Structure formats: structure tokens, C-alpha cells
């Protein structure tokens, strides 16, 4: 993973986009909070009030700063956010407004291609003119790699459409994975109007990317279970 500094481009973030805030809680240790973009201006960003895993809204007890992360043009960008009393007073509105820095860090992600067959249910949102859709659509995976995924869905999409994916694999949640439709096909005898899509991952948080690679490696190297021979 390579890091570089670049000028902030606020309007690269879009409405309803999934984002993360990384904090170090004095009692719980490192936490990954989740949120969505409400609106973007030239120098500030409004988010839905962040939530912690399994516990709902997080009120930053004893936390002085957080690290904001999002996916922009296929790269993970990050910057430090100071948690001030003025920020904490916003929780009643369920909105968190943060100031954007002049520069943010971007992390280049290397591609790896290990593909395994995997069936799992998933949800996704489509990128529209004003951001990601409020509605979720459903699909099911066929196979997956760190570079992309094949899914089936009853939702009609076109090559080039951009999706934000949410799915779980072996008890690990993958949220806000960005993907682009490469191809669409239909199978013979398609009475249920189900389409098959080849998707290319265009952005994934580094923690999720490393975890996915480990899960795929483990799936590839699982040994077959020994067959028990009957005793004659």
C-alpha cells in the first residue's frame, strides 16, 4: 500500500456514500464507526451521526480526534478530525459537521486476483445524479475475488453503472464497497428475469481488502475432509 498527499477534492464525495471514522476509545480500544454523507460544501462535510458496531450512536467518550476514511476514485482517502465540544453538541440533530482540510492522504491499493465460488446474499445501492439511492436492491453472489465479483439480481443495470455493496462473508461485514458493472448477461430459460452481472471492485477500505484476501486464500487451501471407510 502506497500513501500520497493530495489537495482535497470535496465534491468527489457524494450524498449517501458510506464512510468510516476510526477512533481509539479509552475503554474499548480501536473502533471503526460507520456513517453516510448527507451533504458536501466547499469546506465542510455533513454526516449522519456515526454508529459503533452493535451499539448504535457513538458519543466519543474521552475521544479527542478521529480519522475519517472514504473511497474516492478507487482510492481510500483519510484525514484527521478533531472532536471538539462544538461537534459533540450536534448529536441532538443526528448530524455531524466536520471541517475539510486543505489536503488529505490517499492510499494506492494493489490488485490481487484469487477467485472462488461463493454464494451469499447482498444489498446494494445505485449511484444516481444526486448521490447513491435511498433504496437498497438485493442480489446474490456467484463468485468473488479481491478484484471483483459476479452476482445475480432481478434489478436491471447497465454496463458502467456504479454500485455501493454491502455483504457478509464468514461473519465479517463488508460495507460501502464500490463496484462498476462490466457486463450483463441472462441465462437460458430465464423465467424469473434474473440478470447476471460481472462487477469490478473500484474501491474498498484497506481492512476489508486484507480480510477478503485472507478469506479467499483460506477457501482455496481448505483440505478436503477425509472419507471414513466402513469397517468390514
Of the three residues 61, 89, 108, the one that is the final residue of a domain is 108
Of the three residues 62, 83, 108, the one that is the final residue of a domain is 108
Q: Are residues 137 and 99 in the same domain?
A: no
DSSP assignment letter at 154: S
Q: Are residues 124 and 170 in the same domain?
A: yes
CA-based torsion, 32, 36, 40, 46: positive or negative: negative
Residue 161 domain flag: yes
- Domains identified in the chain, total number: 2
Q: Are residues 120 and 169 in the same domain?
A: yes
Domain that holds residue 31: 2-108
Q: Are residues 21 and 100 in the same domain?
A: yes
- Beta bridge partners of residue 143, listed in sequence order: 117, 150
pTM of the model: 0.77
Mean pLDDT by 10 residues, the chain (232 residues): 76 92 93 94 91 88 94 89 89 89 80 76 95 95 92 94 95 94 79 86 90 82 48 48
* pLDDT score of 146: 86
Cα–Cα dist 187/197, whole Å: 11
Cα–Cα dist 231/28, whole Å: 53
Q: Are residues 162 and 70 in the same domain?
A: no
Q: Are residues 162 and 187 in the same domain?
A: yes
Q: Are residues 71 and 125 in the same domain?
A: no
Residue 228 domain flag: no
Q: Are residues 78 and 38 in the same domain?
A: yes
* pLDDT score of 220: 65
* pLDDT score of 226: 42
Q: Are residues 193 and 120 in the same domain?
A: yes
Q: Are residues 8 and 87 in the same domain?
A: yes
Residue 174 domain flag: yes
CATH number of the domain encompassing residue 122: 2.40.10.220
Amino acid at each position: 500500500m502506497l500513501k500520497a498527499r493530495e489537495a482535497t477534492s470535496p465534491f468527489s464525495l457524494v450524498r449517501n456514500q458510506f464512510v468510516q471514522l476510526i477512533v481509539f476509545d479509552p475503554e474499548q480500544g480501536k473502533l471503526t464507526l460507520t456513517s453516510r454523507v448527507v451533504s458536501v460544501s466547499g469546506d465542510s462535510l455533513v454526516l449522519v451521526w456515526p454508529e459503533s458496531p452493535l451499539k448504535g450512536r457513538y458519543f466519543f467518550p474521552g475521544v479527542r480526534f478521529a480519522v475519517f476514511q472514504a473511497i474516492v476514485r478507487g482510492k481510500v482517502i483519510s484525514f484527521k478530525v478533531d472532536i471538539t465540544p462544538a461537534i459533540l453538541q450536534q448529536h441532538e440533530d443526528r448530524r455531524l459537521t466536520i471541517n475539510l482540510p486543505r489536503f488529505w492522504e490517499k492510499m494506492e491499493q494493489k490488485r490481487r486476483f484469487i477467485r472462488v465460488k461463493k454464494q451469499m446474499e447482498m444489498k446494494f445501492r445505485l449511484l444516481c445524479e444526486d448521490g447513491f439511492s435511498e433504496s437498497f436492491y438485493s442480489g446474490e453472489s456467484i463468485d468473488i475475488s479481491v478484484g471483483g465479483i459476479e452476482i445475480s439480481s432481478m434489478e436491471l443495470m447497465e454496463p458502467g453503472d456504479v454500485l455501493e455493496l454491502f455483504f457478509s462473508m464468514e461473519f465479517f461485514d463488508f460495507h460501502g464497497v464500490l463496484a462498476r458493472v462490466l457486463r450483463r448477461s441472462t441465462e437460458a430459460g430465464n423465467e424469473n428475469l434474473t440478470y447476471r452481472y460481472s462487477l469490478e471492485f473500484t474501491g474498498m477500505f484497506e481492512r476489508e481488502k486484507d480480510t477478503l484476501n485472507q478469506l479467499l486464500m483460506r477457501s482455496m487451501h481448505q483440505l478436503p475432509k477425509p472419507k471414513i471407510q466402513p469397517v468390514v
